[in-house]
């Protein structure tokens, strides 16, 4: 994890997860965080590129395995949320990190970059691909619990 600001590592009141399209990494992160922290932290997600029509079907499938439904996730673009104050923005891709830095340079928001691999870059049969999505879920779960359980 790369942190931009040197503020205390306290639990934030609000968190925004950002990736490229808000179709895989950020909706999974949002859903995991909401599963554990929805009563104490405001959580949302967005993408920095033009939004897609729906969440990736593999993402929906691996979240169903842990009894979390993201099939109806409403995809949002980061620029539409720029005026919403977030204590912490977590970028999950290099592109998102760069865009978040550009668009929040006048804000006091803490920005962190978690270099999370895009599972769509995995090639092979269905089981190989679904395994990459499960690895993504496990990594996000570990990082989220570590970061937000302060």
For 37-46, 65-74, 78-87, 122-131, which range has the lowest pLDDT when averaged over its residues?
78-87
Q: Do 63 and 133 contact (CB within 8 A), yes or no?
A: no
pLDDT in tens, 4-29: 443 445 789 999 999 999 999 999 99
Q: Do 78 and 150 contact (CB within 8 A), yes or no?
A: no
Which contiguous run of DSSP H or E holds residue 28?
A: helix 25-37
Tokens 């340079």 belong to: 105
**pLDDT at position 138 over 60:** yes
User: What pLDDT is recorded for position 5?
Assistant: 44
Helices (H), 40-148: 57-64, 94-103, 126-148
Mean pLDDT for the chain overall: 90
Q: Provide the pLDDT confidence category of residue 111 given band limits of 50, 70 and 90.
A: very high
pLDDT in tens, 57-103: 999 999 999 999 999 999 888 887 777 789 999 999 999 999 999 88
Give domain 2-144's CATH superfamily. Response regulator (3.40.50.2300)
Where are the chain's structural domains? 2-144
What is the C-alpha to C-alpha distance for residues 144 and 131, in angstroms, rounded to an integer? 20
Backbone angles phi, psi at 137, to 5 degrees: -60, -45
């Amino acid at each position: 994890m790369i942190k931009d600001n040197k503020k205390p590592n306290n639990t934030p009141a609000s968190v925004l997860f950002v990736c490229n399209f808000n179709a895989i990494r950020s909706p999974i992160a949002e859903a995991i965080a909401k599963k554990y922290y929805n009563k104490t932290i405001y959580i949302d997600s967005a993408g920095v590129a033009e939004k897609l029509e729906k969440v990736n079907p593999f993402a929906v499938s691996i979240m169903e395995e842990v009894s979390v439904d993201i099939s109806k996730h409403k995809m949002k673009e980061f620029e539409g949320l720029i005026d919403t104050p977030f204590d912490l923005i977590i970028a999950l891709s290099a592109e998102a990190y760069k865009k978040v830095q550009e668009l929040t340079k006048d804000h006091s928001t803490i920005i962190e970059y978690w270099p999370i691999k895009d599972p769509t870059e995995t090639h092979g049969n269905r089981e190989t691909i679904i395994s990459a999505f499960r690895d993504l879920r496990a990594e996000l779960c570990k990082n989220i619990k570590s970061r937000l359980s302060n």
